Amino acid sequence: MPFKINISEKKGKTYHLESEGENLVSKNLHEKIKGNEISPEMHDYEFEITGISDKAGFPAMEGIDGIMLNRVLTRYGIGMKKRPKREGKKKRSNFKPKGLRMRKTARGKTISSEIIQINLKVLKEGAKKLIEIFPEQNQKKEEKKVEAKPAV
């Protein structure tokens, strides 16, 4: 099953790639990987795995070992974006609720065949820039801007 790989630069630009990536299986969250494990064009690059999601949308969490789904007691952060019931729809200056903990389902930190999406962060850039490796993704954004202007 192919992985959807999102590669983010320090400047904030994200590049998307679909890859089989059998050599990514059994890697862990926050592990450093070489670029040639993803694509031969990125042999100079070094990446860090920053996030993993499975086919049902459950995120991987650092505290869970293995590949299984677990029910974990979580605080506000990865896997939980809720507010306490008593707070209602009021706007608060501090959005992080105090003392709210919920039991949520999360996946272990190891990449397996159940994983669909992998998020990577560039640690070391190669000789060839990511814009040159993914020219079609850069052009799509420019074409949308050109198409939007004549419509006015």
The predicted-structure confidence for 44-64, as pLDDT tens digits, reads as follows 999 999 999 999 999 999 889
Place of tokens 């959807």: 4
The reported pLDDT for the residue numbered 147 is: 66
User: What are the sequence ranges of the domains in the chain?
Assistant: 3-148
Contacts of residue 90, Cβ cutoff 8 Å, sequence gap at least 6: none
The predicted-structure confidence for 6-27, as pLDDT tens digits, reads as follows 999 988 889 999 988 788 899 9
Distances (CA, A) of 131 to 35, 39, 107: 15, 15, 33
CA dihedral 79, 82, 84, 86 (to 10 degrees): -160
**Size (the chain), residues:** 152
The predicted-structure confidence for 69-114, as pLDDT tens digits, reads as follows 999 988 877 777 766 666 566 666 666 667 778 888 999 999 999 9
The reported pLDDT for the residue numbered 30 is: 93
Instruction: Report the predicted TM-score, pTM, of the whole model to 2 decimal places.
Output: 0.78
